[in-house]
């Protein structure tokens, strides 16, 4: 089996700043001034992928910058040559940037065919949980979550798709927060439901896809304003039936972590697949392959700006 993983495409879309409200304006200015020219090779990326052989394609969020409808429209147009029955997508925090993008399901409406089947989670009052997530004046004022996590603000998104006899599970770790705050939170019921589904699944093995890292290398730790706050407890929940691999993005530099007793699954970060590398951002994308001896291995492709091509390179592996 060959799984191709790309992430954090952040397609550069020009928007009229006068049509943007406060948070989007800050986010758009940040994108326009700091990052616009660093995400250039999207057409080359799509063309490269079109010519590769793979069984499944994972896109782990941050397709847009400020969740503007025009960004979703353009992203879909750019990605259309590689969107098919092998594609599995989840949203990133930039695809859940505004209240409207959440209440009106911009991401779901744009990419419904590629998100898998929606799994319902029983909570006493799901609407209450949804509303609490998107209307929290205290939170907006404070700019941060309290130390004791309030899971009413976390999404109950859980989706599943079987591709080439492998189960792919999609999570949404994103929260509606003020600009420049990109922390995540995963509802524990989502992790628990994932295990319930997998305990009854004939496939047995599964791949998890979520935008926020569940682990970072020591030299690339994240601040509280960037990380998934309850990731350690999610690892503990997963330990009873871990995925083969956890695919994510969010922090824009590649890595692969091999399983160990603390984190008993591969962790693969392919962000950002459209960014030009520099000393702090090792960009590219990964293949995650199972060979005929049933062993998993990774291959990494990086963009060579001299010949404008993606080329096979060394993976950045932590074991």
Q: Is 62 in the site for Fe ion (CB under 5 A)?
A: yes
Across 138-165, b (16+ Cβ under 10 Å) vs e yields ebeeeeebeeebebebbbbbbbbbbbee
* C-beta separation of 275 from 252 below 8 A: yes
Q: What does residue 126 show for φ and ψ, rounded to 5 degrees?
A: -60, -35
Give the nearer residue to Fe ion in terms of CB position, either 11 or 287: 11
Give the nearer residue to Fe ion in terms of CB position, either 182 or 198: 182
Give the nearer residue to Fe ion in terms of CB position, either 248 or 300: 248
Query: Smallest distance, Å, CB 275 to Fe ion?
Result: 9
Q: Is 227 in the site for Fe ion (CB under 5 A)?
A: no
Q: Which stretch binds Fe ion (CB under 5 A): 3-11, 40-48, 51-59, 285-293?
A: 3-11
CA distance 177 to 258: 32
* C-beta separation of 269 from 7 below 8 A: yes
Q: Which stretch binds Fe ion (CB under 5 A): 12-20, 34-42, 59-67, 70-78?
A: 59-67
Q: Are strands 296-304 and 309-313 parallel, antiparallel or unpaired?
A: antiparallel
CA distance 149 to 95: 22
Give the nearer residue to Fe ion in terms of CB position, either 166 or 272: 272
Binding test (CB under 5 A) with Fe ion, winner from 4, 5, 6, 8? 8
Q: Which stretch binds Fe ion (CB under 5 A): 113-121, 250-258, 261-269, 299-307?
A: 250-258
CA distance 257 to 205: 18
Q: What does residue 141 show for φ and ψ, rounded to 5 degrees?
A: -65, -45
CA distance 201 to 55: 20
Q: Which two tokens stand for residue 186?
A: 């995963």
Binding test (CB under 5 A) with Fe ion, winner from 12, 27, 91, 92? 92
Q: Is 98 in the site for Fe ion (CB under 5 A)?
A: no
* C-beta separation of 31 from 97 below 8 A: no
Query: Smallest distance, Å, CB 166 to Fe ion?
Result: 25
Q: What is the end-to-end Cα distance of the chain in Å, rounded?
A: 22
CA distance 89 to 210: 9
Q: Which stretch binds Fe ion (CB under 5 A): 54-62, 154-162, 163-171, 286-294?
A: 54-62
Q: Is 193 in the site for Fe ion (CB under 5 A)?
A: no
Q: Which stretch binds Fe ion (CB under 5 A): 60-68, 124-132, 141-149, 184-192?
A: 60-68
Query: Smallest distance, Å, CB 240 to Fe ion?
Result: 28
Q: Is 93 in the site for Fe ion (CB under 5 A)?
A: yes
CA distances 36 to 20, 30, 240, Å, are 17, 9, 42
Q: Which stretch binds Fe ion (CB under 5 A): 5-13, 105-113, 218-226, 231-239?
A: 5-13
Q: Is 243 in the site for Fe ion (CB under 5 A)?
A: no
Q: Is 250 in the site for Fe ion (CB under 5 A)?
A: yes
Give the nearer residue to Fe ion in terms of CB position, either 115 or 177: 177
Coil, helix or strand at residue 132 = helix
Total residues contacting Fe ion by CB under 5 A comes to: 5
Give the nearer residue to Fe ion in terms of CB position, either 116 or 249: 249
Residue with token string 């309850």: 230
Residues that bind Fe ion (CB under 5 A): 8, 62, 92-93, 250
């Amino acid at each position: 089996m060959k799984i191709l993983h790309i992430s954090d495409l952040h397609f550069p879309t020009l928007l009229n700043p006068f049509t943007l409200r406060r948070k989007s304006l800050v986010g758009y200015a940040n994108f326009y001034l700091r990052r616009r020219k660093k995400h250039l090779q999207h057409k080359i990326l799509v063309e490269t992928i079109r010519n590769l052989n793979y069984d499944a394609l994972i896109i782990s969020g941050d397709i847009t910058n400020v969740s503007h409808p025009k960004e979703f429209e353009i992203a879909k147009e750019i990605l259309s040559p590689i969107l098919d029955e092998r594609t599995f997508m989840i949203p990133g925090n930039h695809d859940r940037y505004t209240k409207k993008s959440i209440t009106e399901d911009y991401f779901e409406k744009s990419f419904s065919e590629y998100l898998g089947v929606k799994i319902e989670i029983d909570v006493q009052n799901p609407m209450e949980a949804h509303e609490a997530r998107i209307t929290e004046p205290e939170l907006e004022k404070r700019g941060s979550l309290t130390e004791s996590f309030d899971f009413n603000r976390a999404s109950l998104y859980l989706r599943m798709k079987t591709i080439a006899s492998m189960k792919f599970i999609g999570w949404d770790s994103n929260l509606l927060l003020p600009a420049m705050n990109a922390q995540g939170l995963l509802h524990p019921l989502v992790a628990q439901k994932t295990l319930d589904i997998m305990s009854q699944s004939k496939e047995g093995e599964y791949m998890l896809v979520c935008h926020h890292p569940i682990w970072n290398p020591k030299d690339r730790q994240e601040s509280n304003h960037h990380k998934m706050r309850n990731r350690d407890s999610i690892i503990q929940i997963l330990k009873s039936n871990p995925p083969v691999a956890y695919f994510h993005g969010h922090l824009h530099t590649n890595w692969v972590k091999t399983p160990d007793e603390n984190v008993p699954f591969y962790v693969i970060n392919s962000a950002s697949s459209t960014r030009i590398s520099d000393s702090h951002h090792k960009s590219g994308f990964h293949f995650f392959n199972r060979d005929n001896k049933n062993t998993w291995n990774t291959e990494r492709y990086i963009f060579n700006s001299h010949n404008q091509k993606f080329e096979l390179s060394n993976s950045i592996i932590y074991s």
